[in-house]
Structure 1
Amino acid sequence: MCGISGYYRPDLVTDEKHSLDDIEKTLRHRGPDNFGTYYDGSVGFAHNRLSLLDLSSNGNQPFKNERCVFVYNGEVYNYLELKHKYLRNKDIQFVSGTDTEVLFYLLQYYPIKEFIHDLDGMFAFAYYDKLEKKMYLVRDKLGIKPLFYLKAPGGKVYFSSEMKSFFSVANLEMNDFRTLYSAYGVYDSADENTVFSNVFHVKPGHYIEINGTVKETCYFKLTDLIDPEYYMRQARKGEQELFEEFENTLSASITSMLMSDAPMGIFVSGGIDSSLIAALTTKSQKMDLFTANVVGKYSEVEDARALSRQLNLQLHEYEFREEYFTRDYVNCTWHMESPIITHVNAIPFSGVARLAHSKGVKAVLTGEGSDELFLGYPNLLTKRYNGLINGPANLVNWFYNKVPGLAKSVLKVNENRMGEALINTAKQFQRQRIKQDMNSLGHIPENERHDQYLSLRMMQEHLLSLLWRNDRMGMIASIESRFPFLGEQVIKFALNLPLKYKIGHTNRFYNYKHPFLIDKKIVRGVAQKHLNKHLVYKKKNGFPLKGIAHLRPSPSYFKGGILQTAAGLRDTDLKLFVDSLDSYTLGKFTSVETFHKLFVQRIHKDTLHEQFVNQVKFV
């Protein structure tokens, strides 16, 4: 993993070397091993390298020749296959053992659209063709690697791995509406918009061409992996055959992600997904395990220790205490580049990353993606009982809706719809766009179609927030995360898997949240071969800890901030504001305020940290 940045200027003025030097300082945590730049009239490229393949200087970037310039962040796991398929008959003298160099030559010999579908990995890269005088910004199929661009006056475009680096080159236009609605966790799972009006994501599975104008092209959609014939073949197979196929597919994904000339490790939580990754990895390579011990009743460290003992692997524990929440909150918000709301466990996650870095590790395997693909979130299963649980309320709702005006006055349905409409607007109707994917599921039996759609939706919403967390909190300590459950063949297998192998039935009271139903059936089925029974059937806790609902800010923390200015509150109103809110809503607004102070008021994070620990308590 690295940091990439640069600009395109159609005016052909002198270069902006000083700008890229400033950006480099901001992105140094992403790539501390080397910094390189390129300037040529209207374009500039910069690269902060975290060396993982070919640790020599031959892998330093930008890559350049008389035709093109290239900077790249990520890993293409099948780069040797691509090298053989596309470049074996070309007169090329390779000087490194990196995937970077393979991509560099692919871009010279082929149009992007001819090979981009074959890339299996996580990547974000920028490429400038000197002959065409055109720049390309390209992001991987799932959006694992971040890539932002900023539209500036005069047709200028800047790009970077992190938004904060744009502060040194342009004014970021804060959108108050988007900022306030970031309290709903909107923008850490957005696929295009950010809280800034002039800063955008390169969307997952897209690339853009810049040549005075910005043109966007979609080269991949998740539904491209849906194959009705494959689904029918899966439906005809027996359970054990499918379990074996899944194990082989996941193991192959793990093997492909072990490419590294630098030390690697595995982040484990004690849950089944990371535990299975560790067990399968151990079959070919021993790695140290890393976990967070959230001291107190939420600790899952005993499960991680049990895994360590069973696999005979060393476990390194980061001990996270309650007082660390306020200690690390501002710094984590600065690196997160969004209010910390959806994933407050980002804070102990950052500590695990620092621990891994201290042990010399540069890349880790993690278990993200399994819950989205195999329906592992308890609320997805509890919905099956909604009809029974909500029966009386549904009857009342039906009656009120039969009487004109009664539902509006008693149930306040319009107020709820207004809130939903504003959130949808803030996310640019992302969920509505995703819902169009239902059209690709016509071959699936109607009674399981909605659940299969939920996988598609979570892979394009909630997963983005997890990837955002892992990238930002890992990069605090220059740690790259790799995701075996997100290997392309694993995803294709899961999207074409009949529902009964995701949600299974049992005759015992498995979980009080969804009795007699087992989530991630096929994952647990494979895990039975490799893990003890407790780990296989451990209930999902989701890295729990006390979170933002335990923050108690003083009214003075909001003085002069986004909430006071946007709502026109007087200083005397701030105490009423704080006293009137429930603890969770107050915590969310505290997160938004912290973000605003860092990214709009531009208060230095060290200064804000002192203000935060003095004016915000953790109770």
Structure 2
Amino acid sequence: MCGIFGFSAVGMKKKQLITATDKLSLRGPDASGYFMSEPIGLGHRRLSIIDLDSGEQPMFSKDKSLVIVFNGEIYNFKTIKKELKELGIQFVTESDTEVLIEAYQAWGINKCLEKLEGMFAFSLWDEKLQKLFVVRDLFGEKPLYYTKNEQGFFFASELKALEGFFEKKNMSKTGLNLFFNLTYIPAPYTIYENVFKLEAGHYLEVSTLGEFESLQYYDLEKITLENQELQIIQYEDAKKELREKLFSSVEERMVSDVPLGSFLSGGIDSSIVSAIMSKLSTNPIKTFSIGFKEKEYDESERADLVAKHIGSDHKLYIVGHEDLLEIVDETLSYFDEPFGDSSAIPSMMVAKKAKEKVTVVLTGDCADELFGGYDKYLGKYYADKYNKYPKLLRKAFKNGLKFVPHTRKTNQTLRKIKKVIYSAGLSPEERYTSLTSLGYTELQKKQLLKPEFQENANAIILKYFSGIKGDEHNKTFFSDAKLVLEGDMLTKVDRACMINSLEARVPFLDSKLVEFSTRLPHHFKIDGTNKKKILKDTFADLVPAETMSFSKKGFGIPIRLWFQNELKEELIELLSEEKIKKQGLFNFNFIHKILTEHFNNKENHSSKLWLLFVFQKWHQKYI
């Protein structure tokens, strides 16, 4: 795993190339390398994973006409290498980067990209064609940002390396609104004007003048439409194929020349991945989890149960929420732009602990999006049930909820009930935007933001949902695979691990497995309220029976309590009338209203206040 930076720009000095690249040192602490041939510059920071002795970058083709900087792993590089050897091509390293160069030279950019299975962001300079290619992987596991100014075109693995090449005070209205809707900013947008994330499955073709064109090489929407004609009908056939594909994916992702382990939360997905690793390994695998001193947030017993069942070398780290408080600022700062998924904080903690023992981990992420693991996927089911009750009864029930206070005991149940009631009267499109937007609704956002900063973000969110044929369920799964994975889940995992120089691999994101999931009927994934049905049925023999019946927990942190105690003073200071009015972005009266309701336990506004807290911390540092 590495960090890359580069440009096609006039007037740049090698010192600037080195300075910008070295801002990515946490992504690549082991080595650095630079290529400069005006107007092209490429920089690389390396975290050594495969071919430790001869995988230095930038890497050149044998004739020196090609040079590449590469971040990630090509999991099927040995298969591609064998195919290239059959064409008579000889190799001098064991690196997947050399395979990538030779594949491009043999087949060109498009056919080369069609063959790749992996997580990656890379840039390749072709001296003969005088073109710079900048590529991001199929689903957006690895980040890639770019911008253009009067000097030319610039790209980097993280925003911090692009500082100085764009105007930081020019905040994007679209990025701002997406953040307060979704809690994150999906590609191609960022919080800055004229700075973009390269979309998953796309590459840029850049000229020596810094002009560029974005081209799509992997289209999940197209594949999903094609797969609707190839739907799997027999449940047992689907189970067999799922088992084969996940075993194969895990095996490919276990290739490493450095110590390797897995995150084991004790939930279904990480337990399945860890169990498969144990089956494939000749030695006990290393597993890692964190537990909390506060029992209501602790699920370490779940992880311990699985670890004993599969015989892993398990490391459990018990932390208190005071430990998490210590890394709040460090975590939020590393994202370079507002990122409101609070589970990033405990994710960073477990990554920090795992790095003490290994350099690579496998995770159970992304199974929820593919196989129906979230409560929101039951939105239509519960809405239909609720709508069957008489209208007067529904009205009385809704009014009665206003008198139930939000406390530690009632909070979770109340939030779920209110979501069901709210979504019951919505269209499929409205329900998707409502359940996907974990921050502010459009109405609330109009009350929060000054008119000149308001923009309706639902149109952007719905371009994913409306772009696929099929029923509401299919539209939801497809949209989440395109929107939520890239913008939230994969961003969180990448940053939490890379700040600790740890590589994370996601077996559920093998393209063959993703495409397989689009061929499954909805009832294979969710049967009534039984979520991830096929996943549980397929792998029930590998994990303890109790694991399959555990309710989903996730990495919870006590934001509500923090805002009433340890973080209360800082929250009030960040949202003070003087600061808000000077800033000129928000309506103070609305902020005062939700603060008062929260502190009086009238409503639980933790998530909304957390977004404001995160944004203000970012704004204070960068703007």
Q: Which interval holds the TM-score relative to the shorter structure? A: 0.7 to 0.9
Measured after TM superposition, the shift of residue 98 of structure 1 is 1.0
Partners of 1:561 and 1:178 lie apart in 2 by 26
Q: In structure 2, give the amino acid aligned to 1:83.
A: K
TM-score, normalisation: structure 1: 0.83
Alpha-carbon distance in structure 2 between the residues aligned to 1:85 and 1:598: 50
| Counterpart selection for 2:461 from 390, 411, 431 | 431
Alpha-carbon shift at residue 461 of structure 1 (Å)? 1.6
Looking at structure 2, the residues matched to 292 and 521 of structure 1 have their Cα atoms a distance apart, in angstroms, of: 27
Q: TM-score scaled by structure 2?
A: 0.83
Query: SS at 2:122's partner residue?
Result: strand
Q: Which position in structure 1 is the counterpart of 2:95? A: 98
Of stretches 23-32 and 551-560 in structure 1, the one that deviates more from structure 2 is 551-560
Distance 2:590 2:507 in 1: 48
Mapping 1:374-389, distance limit 5 Å = 374-389=371-386
TM-superposition CA deviations, 1:558-611 (whole Å, max 9, x none): 5699844343789x98995785463423332111101112222xxxxxxxxxxx
Indicate conservation of the 8 Å contact 2:181/2:441, yes or no.
no
User: What corresponds to 1:264 in structure 2?
Assistant: 260
Query: Per the alignment, do residues 316 and 196 of structure 1 end up closer, same or farther by CA in structure 2, a change over 3 Å counting?
Result: same
Deviation at 1:503, TM superposition (A): 1.0
* 8 Å CA contact retained: 2:231, 2:520: no
Distance 1:71 1:29 in 2: 17
Say which is worse superposed, 377-386 or 68-77, in terms of deviation.
377-386
Q: Mean Cα displacement is larger for which, 548-557 or 251-260?
A: 548-557
Residues 78-117 of structure 1 mapped to structure 2, 5 A cutoff: 78-90=76-88, 92-117=89-114
1:154-165 pair list within 5 angstroms: 154=151, 156-165=152-161
Residue matched to 2:484: 462
Residue segments in structure 1 that go unaligned for 5+ positions in a row: 399-410, 442-448, 506-516, 601-619
**Matched residue SS, 1:216:** strand
Q: Deviation of residue 291 (structure 1)?
A: 0.8
Change (3 A) 1:365 1:102: same
1:573–1:227 CA distance, 2 compared to 1 (3 A): closer
Equivalent runs, 1:178-197 vs 2, <5 Å: 178=174, 180-181=176-177, 183-184=179-180, 186=182, 188-197=184-193
Letter of the structure 2 residue corresponding to residue 3 of structure 1: G
- Which residue in the other structure is 2:538 paired with? 526
Task: Name the aligned partner's letter for residue 226 of structure 1.
Answer: T
Letter in 2 for 1:137: V
Q: Deviations over 1:179-201 (max 9, x none)?
A: 64365264735120100112101
Q: Is 1:29 aligned with 2:26? A: yes
Contact 2:121/2:144 (CA < 8 Å) preserved in 1?
yes
Count of residues in Structure 1 that have an aligned counterpart in Structure 2: 556
CA contact (8 A) 2:271 2:306 kept: yes
Distance 1:540 1:37 in 2: 46
* 1:404 aligned partner: none
User: Take 1:232 and 1:481, find their aligned partners in 2: how far apart are those partners?
Assistant: 32
Which region of structure 1 is more displaced relative to structure 2, 546-555 or 20-29?
546-555
Q: Which residue of 2 aligns with 1:535?
A: 547
Q: Residues 148 and 233 (structure 1 numbering): CA distance in 2 closer, same or farther, change over 3 Å? A: closer
Q: Is 2:327 the partner of 1:294?
A: no
Secondary structure at the counterpart of residue 191 of structure 1: coil
> Structure 1 runs of 4+ off > 6 angstroms?
392-398, 420-424, 559-562, 572-575
Match of 1:592 in 2: 615
Corresponding residue of 1:76: 74
Contact residue 346 and residue 555 of structure 2 kept, 8 A? no
- Name the aligned partner's letter for residue 468 of structure 2: M
The residue identity in structure 2 corresponding to 1:478 is: S
Correspondent of 1:120 among 113, 117, 122? 117
User: Is residue 228–residue 496 contact of structure 1 (8 Å, CA) maintained in 2?
Assistant: no
Aligned to 1:324: 323
Distance 1:568 1:430, change over 3 A: closer
Residues 231, 310 of structure 1: CA spacing in aligned structure 2 closer, same or farther, 3 A cutoff? farther
Deviation of 1:277 after TM superposition, in Å, equals: 0.6
Asked whether the equivalents of residues 271 and 303 of structure 1 are also in contact (C-alpha less than 8 Å), the reply is yes
CA deviation after TM superposition for structure 1 residue 384, in Å = 0.6
How many angstroms does 1:532 deviate by? Answer: 1.4
Structure 2: how far apart are the matches of 1:226 and 1:579?
44
Indicate conservation of the 8 Å contact 2:65/2:126, yes or no: yes
The aligned residue for residue 39 of structure 1 is 36
Q: Tell me the CA shift for residue 221 of structure 1.
A: 1.4
| Pairing 1:218–2:235 present | no
Partners of 1:364 and 1:482 within 8 A in 2: yes
Structure 1 residue aligned with 2:584: 567
For 2:106 and 2:454, how far apart are their aligned partners in 1?
A: 42
2:266 is matched by which residue type in structure 1? G
Q: Distance in 2 between matches of 1:331 and 1:139?
A: 27
The structure-2 alpha-carbon separation of the partners of 1:356 and 1:424, relative to structure 1 and needing over 3 Å to count, comes to farther
Tell me the residue number matched to 1:303: 302
Q: Aligned ranges for residues 459-608 of structure 1 at < 5 Å?
A: 459-464=481-486, 465-505=488-528, 517-547=529-559, 550-551=562-563, 552=568, 553=570, 555-558=572-575, 563-567=580-584, 579-580=595-596, 582=598, 583-584=605-606, 585-600=608-623
CA–CA distance in 2 between the matches of 1:265 and 1:103?
26
Q: Which residue number corresponds to residue 19 of structure 1?
A: 16
* C-alpha spacing 1:353/1:60, structure 2 compared with 1 (3 Å): same
Residue aligning to 1:242: 238
> In 1, distance between residues paired with 2:76 and 2:47?
20
The one-letter amino acid paired with 1:257 is R
SS of match in other structure, 1:355: helix
Matches within 5 A, 1:295-444: 295-296=293-294, 297-341=296-340, 343-359=341-357, 361-390=358-387, 425=455, 427=457, 429-439=459-469, 441=470
C-alpha separation between the residues in 2 aligned to 1:568 and 1:123? 37
State the distance in 2 between where 1:436 and 1:388 align. 25
| Cα pair distance change 1:586/1:247, threshold 3 Å | same
Q: Deviations over 1:428-487 (max 9, x none)?
A: 843232134323x4xxxxxxx221221101111221201000000100111111111111
Gaps in structure 2 of 5+ consecutive residues: 396-424, 431-439, 599-604
The separation in 1 between residues aligned to 2:269 and 2:185, in whole angstroms, is 22
Contact preservation (8 Å) 2:166, 2:195:
no
Q: Quote the RMSD (CA, aligned, Å).
A: 3.0
Distance 1:573 1:381 in 2: 35
